[in-house]
Amino acid sequence: MAVSEICCADAFVTLASTQLPVQVDFYRAFLLLEPSLQTASYAEFSLPGLRLAIFVPKLDNKTDNVSVFSAESSGAMSLCLEVEDLSAVIARLRKLNYPPAGDIIHASHGQEIYAYDPDGNRLILHQAVAKAV
């Protein structure tokens, strides 16, 4: 299929949050990256192969049920991030006061651990098995 036949030109992940500054500060510190775009109600981080956007849902929009986005309940989204050094990422999360939930899971494809951002969205942090040279 040719690129011109694809129905979209780009895709990115968006997170709705009623606490935008908290989320932006978390992802800034966690990703060690400044937002590439930021307004009062929107922020976007440009990662290799992914744009991560965070927005404030409109209270009058019936499709954006703000109670769904409270930190008391886990968000509906999981963001899987491939990392080079899982131990270093775990240490960074602990320093941010968002320690991983549970122990490292060891699987044939590598190891991973779950953590949660300030709104309860699950982060799946995965470190692949080193390939033999």
| Per-residue pLDDT, 58 | 73
Which phi and psi angles does 125 have, rounded to 5°? -105, 115
For residue 81, the enclosing domain spans: 3-59+70-128
| Per-residue pLDDT, 29 | 97
* Burial letters 24-45, b for 16+ CB under 10 A, else e: bebbeebeeeebeeeeeeebbb
Q: How confident is the model at residue 8 (pLDDT cuts 50, 70, 90)?
A: low
* Six-digit token string for 26: 């978390």
| Average of per-residue pLDDT values in the chain | 81
Concatenate the DSSP letters of all residues of 22-46 into one string.
Answer: HHHHHHHHHHT---SEE-SSEEEEE
What is the pLDDT averaged over residues 3-23? Answer: 78
* 114 assigned to some structural domain: yes
Higher pLDDT, 100 or 109: 100
Sign of torsion over alpha carbons 121, 105, 93, 34: negative
What is the pLDDT averaged over residues 41-52? Answer: 92
Concatenate the DSSP letters of all residues of 92-106 into one string.
Answer: HHHHTT-PPEEEEEE
* 116 assigned to some structural domain: yes
Which tens digits make up the pLDDT trace of 52-83? Answer: 999 988 765 444 444 444 444 455 678 888 88
Supply the pTM of this predicted model. 0.70
| CATH, residue 94 | 3.10.180.10
| H or E stretch at 111 | strand 110-116
- With 50 as the cut, is the pLDDT of residue 41 above it? yes
* 124 assigned to some structural domain: yes
* 65 assigned to some structural domain: no
